Chain A
Amino acid sequence: KAGVTQTPRYLIKTRGQQVTLSCSPISGHRSVSWYQQTPGQGLQFLFEYFSETQRNKGNFPGRFSGRQFSNSRSEMNVSTLELGDSALYLCASSLRSDLSYEQYFGPGTRLTVT
């Protein structure tokens, strides 16, 4: 079956702009989580959506937001971009909203803020 897809794969934006990233989960998966990955920092949890509802949120400012559609596809938005937002943004889907269920990651979107 098709894996998790993320679009776009690469993005260059200027400080102050906003950006929207998209994630299509594996068919049948209803949980989608977003992570920010920076060198030496591991993965930082942004938020998780299950059946169009945000179930959990990490410690990120309100500039970071997301949503999930009825087909489980999810989008993440970052407003008023800062240089420190440059990172790899990973999306992961899971069958259920339960940490013990395997998360399947997409290849990520590389965001560069100049």
Chain B
Amino acid sequence: GENVEQHPSTLSVQEGDSAVIKCTYSDSASNYFPWYKQELGKGPQLIIDIRSNVGEKKDQRIAVTLNKTAKHFSLHITETQPEDSAVYFCAASSNYQLIWGAGTKLIIKP
């Protein structure tokens, strides 16, 4: 079945620096790739998504890139701020469901 691997599991960056989280997937039929942010005590919240017919998408400080040939996609956060501290999940569509990565805990150091 589909498998989504996410790295790193923990990422610590200085405030103002950039953060990059990477995911790989196995199902070549996957065509939808969302990223969710989960803050402590809350459910995940969609922050950006990309479809397989697009290579890159940006929304202010957040961007996602997709390489279909290599089957990987990445989340880029620029000019990180304290409120970016959270757990980030990637997911890939497969067989009418989302397969999720294990999550990345992003720590923003002041």
Contacts and interface: CB of A to CB of B under 8 A. Distances in A.
> Which of A43, A59, A90 has the most chain B CB within a 10 Å cutoff?
A43
Contacts of A100: 32, 49, 51, 93
B98 interface: yes
A23 to B, nearest CB: 11
B71 to A, nearest CB: 18
Contact of B32 (A45, A99, A105): A99
Contact of A107 (B9, B41, B98): B41
Given A42-B101, A43-B89, A105 B43 contact: yes
Given A99-B32, A100-B51, A58 B97 contact: yes
B102 interface: yes
Nearest to A88: B43
Contacts of B1: 59
B25 interface: no
Interface in B1-57: 1, 4, 6, 9, 32, 34, 36, 41-46, 49, 51
Nearest to A58: B97
Given A42-B89, A99-B32, A99-B93, A105 B45 contact: yes
Contacts, number: 55
A90 B34 CA distance: 17
Interface residues of A, number: 22
A99 B44 contact: no
A92 interface: yes
Interface in A68-95: 90, 92
Given A55-B96, A100-B51, A42 B43 contact: no
Interface of A: 4, 40-45, 48, 55-56, 58-59, 90, 92, 99-100, 102-103, 105-108
18 contacts: A40-B103, A41-B102, A42-B4, A42-B89, A43-B91, A43-B98, A45-B97, A48-B97, A90-B43, A90-B44, A99-B93, A99-B96, A100-B49, A103-B46, A105-B44, A106-B43, A107-B42, A107-B43
- 6 smallest CB-CB distances across A and B, nearest first, come from A105-B43, A42-B100, A43-B100, A42-B102, A99-B93, A45-B97
